Amino acid sequence: MPTVHGAERHFCGQVPQRMIGSFGTSTHFTGGAETLFNLVRSTRLATVAVAAISLTALLGGCGQQSAAGKASAAAPAVHYHFYMNVVTGGMTGKPGWPQFLPGNFTLPANADVTVTVTSFDDGAAPVPAVYGKVSGTVGNAETVNGQSVSTVDPQQVAHTFTVSGLKLNVPIPVAASAQSPSVVTFTFHTPKAGTYTWQCEAPCGSGTAGWGGPMATSGYMTGTMTISNN
């Protein structure tokens, strides 16, 4: 594609016509044929030199533009790391109220986000099989204590991090003990700016069905994930 400088267009690899010398037939010289020959030869050599220098500069500029374009195209995507903890009510002095910390948070838009969840909850809250499957993450997989998995035994799930609006589901298995937490890591790509609700789908709250208390309270087992351009 041409780049425009004023009214003149330059094409990479072509010499602008104004750089090529021309010799008219109406020019008059004095001093004889030898003088005229030498003058013409000198002028032509000077013209060729100018053209060569200009061509070198032009091609060099094209190369710089191409290199800049390649550098821009090769710029890495934004990658962001985010950390969460799942603590028990006994740890916070509110028995029966497990909690994701933080529960309401902001992530950058259009970014690859790697999330690490460290869960200290050693109590199981069995879920339907669908919530034992990892979905919406890169490769539909997560790592549990360093091992890549695509499913977790539904009977061994303590919590899930589920964003239905993004079809994202990450099951979190029970910890071996409060002193030996489960560490779950996953990566997903955030969408454009917006607000999304996340929910734990493991009935780990109060009430006969386990859906009361923290399950219905923002900042505990449900919350808001804000995707921002800032």
Residues 10 and 123 in one domain: no
Residues 57 and 133 in one domain: no
Q: Which of 49, 73, 97 is the last residue of a domain?
A: 73
Reply yes or no on whether the pLDDT at 59 is more than 90: no
Q: Which are the contacts of 188, defined by CB distance < 8 A and separation ≥ 6?
A: 112, 113, 115, 136, 137, 138, 166, 168
Q: Which pLDDT value is given to residue 149? A: 98
Residues 89 and 181 in one domain: yes
Q: Which pLDDT value is given to residue 23? A: 35
Residues 112 and 208 in one domain: yes
CA within 13 Å, CB half, 66: 11
Tokens 């191409």 belong to residue: 66
* The total number of structural domains that make up the chain: 2
Structure tokens at 122: 């050693």
Task: Grade residue 178 by pLDDT with cuts at 50, 70 and 90.
Answer: confident
Residues 45 and 154 in one domain: no
Q: What is the mean pLDDT of the chain?
A: 78
Task: Work out the burial of residue 141: count CB atoms within 10 Å of its CB; fewer than 13 is exposed, 13-18 middle, 19 or more buried.
Answer: middle
Residues 134 and 158 in one domain: yes
What is the CATH number for 142?
Answer: 2.60.40.420
Tokens 């028990």 belong to residue: 88
Residues 119 and 168 in one domain: yes
How does pLDDT run across 112-153, given as a tens digit for each residue? 999 999 999 999 999 999 999 999 999 999 999 999 999 999
How does pLDDT run across 86-122, given as a tens digit for each residue? 999 999 999 999 999 999 999 999 999 999 999 999 9
Residues 61 and 94 in one domain: no
Structural domain boundaries enclosing 166: 79-228
